[in-house]
Amino acid sequence: MTGIASADISDNEIRIGYLADMSGPYRDLAGPGGLEALRMAVEDHGGAIHGASIEVFSADDRNSADVGANTVREWIDQRNVDMVAGLVASSVTIAATRLLEEHDRIGMVSGAAALSVTNEYCSPNHIQWVYDTHAMSNGTAKAIVEEGGDSWYLITADYAFGHSLEADVEAMVTKNGGQVLGTSRHPLNTNDFSSYILQAQSSGAKIVGLANAGADTVNAISTAGQFGLAESGQALAGLMVFLNDIHALGLETTQGMQLTTGWYWDMNDEAREWAQRYYERVGSMPTMVQAGVYSSTMHYLNAIEATGSDDASTVRAWMGETPVNDMFTTNGIVREDGRMVHDMYLAEVKSPAESEGEWDLYRILSTIPGDEAFLSLEQSGCHLVNP
């Protein structure tokens, strides 16, 4: 379809805004690295499609729904944005995607995990690409309970994402015969986890589950080590753990930890090849979110190339009809509720002796098929599916 004229591409430009936490607790799992991944996708498309140039701009949402919404509103009003990528904090994502639906633009969500993003807050205009709280708990929590970790205490980030993950983990633990003995909720970007770890220790739970992410997870794991959580016979379960977290903490601290991931740089040749290109630009291996930014942007740009249009409904229809086959996944499917369904992976952190390099951190234990990992359409609360 190389002969398609760019007249069907508005303003003869494709405008993409990258909105994410660029300076706070989620900086390393998405942040500037995610922006670089997006730029790689644009470059891999030659910087233009059918003669229409691709323009990229970015902003730090500071994990504030108000800041995120105001930024997206300005992008729509002043820059005629076609697509917003990144979208990490769930509260920011929910606010942003409401505006994108209202103005008929596209949102490609790579970081936000709250199940509600494609349940009660679903729309025809956004897609949740990498994971959600159901898929993450369906991997780690289920595996740990089946191995005998049947009593849990949860330390939860006190906002939409944490609440969603807490609820999904509790449901998964209970469904598999375990119980949650208690929970503590902490503000986003908490530095001192001492009181939360002490409460978890006093609960007597076998498993202390961390329903948080980014710097909060790193700080909680570090504090647990200082308080001798493992020595007291309790085990940590990182329910939203990223490659950069394990790298920052080191294998001595994290070895043996089980976690669920949507992607890993060393999982196959195609992933390794892309990750090496990313590493040469950024200096670190990509997280699953950063890989997801690249993959989702590529699928979006492929849709424009195939249809010759940046019209939101045209692009969204193509993305739903076309399987995702790239360095991120094989035969991924974009459902009508906006959930991209793909395989997830249960991984275990290697010991220092097992690791063969700085970023050789995971051993993949098992593949969780996408239709098992994610909530089924029959269970969905999305009005597009079950009105």
| Residue whose tokens read 């730090």 | 60
Burial of 268 (0-12, 13-18, 19+ CB in 10 A): exposed
Measured between alpha carbons, how far is 221 from 209 in angstroms, rounded to an integer? 10
Residue 375: DSSP 8-state: P
Domains of the chain: 6-131+268-342 (3.40.50.2300), 134-261+344-373 (3.40.50.2300)
Q: What is the pTM of this model?
A: 0.94
For residue 19, the 8-state DSSP code is E
Q: Are 110 and 292 in contact (CB under 8 A)?
A: yes
**pLDDT confidence of residue 138:** 86
Q: Which of 157, 26, 46 is closest to 86 using CA atoms? A: 26
* pLDDT score of 76: 98
> Could you tell me which of 199, 138, 207 has the C-alpha nearest to residue 168?
138
Q: For residue range 321-340, what is the model confidence (pLDDT) as tens digits? A: 999 999 999 999 999 999 99
Predicted confidence (pLDDT) per residue in 245-287, tens digit: 999 999 999 988 889 999 999 999 999 999 999 999 999 999 9
pLDDT in tens, 17-56: 999 999 999 999 999 999 999 999 999 999 999 999 999 9
Spatial distance between the Cα atoms of 65 and 160, rounded to a whole number of angstroms: 11
